[in-house]
Structure 1
């Protein structure tokens, strides 16, 4: 069968790259990266991109009125189609967020597919950490199933016809700033450093953990309600891992977070919503402990989150109650301020609306 000119170029490109080699899809020093925000659909989000040989700094602000996304992308061009069929997925490396960040920032890594003439995204979240620390993840191509801002039933990525790559910040209102260092296609997960997925160790406090949990629930519940449970799961996963390895916080709180990460590990974050429910139950139990009350009954959650793992993790220890009302006021003020590393709200009430929407879904 004769090959089209475009597929022929992709075939030749694949031959040039050594089998099993790591393929740099970013090629930061090359021209071609551009910003695309929700202004294309009437939105008012902003994004500013600074590219250097070592990576790309992307910062701006998400406005939920009329859109709710900002992105930076690279189009390989009509003759640049990549055949990544012999590769297993992407290795993405980012700088940790500032330690003062209220919560992780979720991003969708998107690959454009010529077969569907659309992009497929897989979610990950960038955690806070000490200055200079990095975080890496492996995103299997099987996770790239979510079409962003479009509808496509049962569509999956065809890695043999990749025409572009992008990073999308979606439905997280307010200021954002992060740096992406690597976007590599790898032939197997073993090519990703063993440190991939290991969270930077954060020195924090129980008060800040409480605020991180509540901020993550706000962001995650909003994304969930917009039809992006994988983004919610990625946020919750990152938050739980940050808590489980943090310094200067309650050992019982860490025990619950570790139990959740261990239990949720069997469920891929981008395939289904089981992990998100497990993390949500752990967050509710921790929040209740900080409030000096009993954790919610397991009947409030789907079957996948049931079990004695919460009670077992909390047995034999105690959590010092916190002034939750005061912390809630502080959290609202930080969110409204929109300071770097934080995010703002259109109104104070949105914090409670977002949480209530998610609680309603828990009861369904």
Structure 2
């Protein structure tokens, strides 16, 4: 790691991204508060540019590139949200981009990535290694590889969402007791924790993951990085990193209070509630932390809970099928 991200790094990043990244709303619902018996503050990153928080880290990382690095282009690998974030940031900054994506990624994510002007290379997530493919392309072209989470600059960029959440909560006369974050490789969790605890050291950060893909939660309990037993099988396509990041886990083991896991059905319930009551569109991976709240995985009565809604890039067919269960 070139440096260890800090709260001051996240504060500085805001000045670099503020004219491009959207300050997404912190949503509060009287009906939801009554249901949960506390204050639930929802950070709507599904309304961010490209439909997820990933644009924050991607744009910040690319904005730091030198002129020579920009000319050589960037390579990234992602199931969709990091792909779109890098592709959009590259388009804004005039940088050529190649994105390695699983062939079974939601069609909307692949199409949107191409629409931003990036070259898309697909792979089979069950038999091929995306990092190896991306690394080979980067080496062949002399391009910069931008990891989806295992990069301190990316972590800093993602952390700006947590900084906004805390500042917006204060403006709403609220002080979160805990914050729940959807987690795959751990970049958003690390950045959010560094930002939130830089303002209030007592706030607890928890990660929410799909059942069977709760590698970060299990790793935190074990004190070492553990791998998921499977590479696919959840509707939360954005949350299926094989194991916690080599850069993110050493941070998260010190700043994350614990992890909770949610079922696909609980995620579907959260997506339906977000649509029907909050009028918010969430993708499965973007709804995991909210699902954990609705399912009672954390104590909410007489408490203030921040929740990061991390993405809204859901396949239309899947979304229609989930909503049909209302």
**Shorter-normalised TM range:** under 0.3
Higher relative contact order (CA 8 A, sep 6+): 2
When you count strand as a share of all residues, which structure comes out higher?
1
TM-score (norm 2): 0.28
Rg (Cα) greater in structure:
1
TM-score (norm 1): 0.26
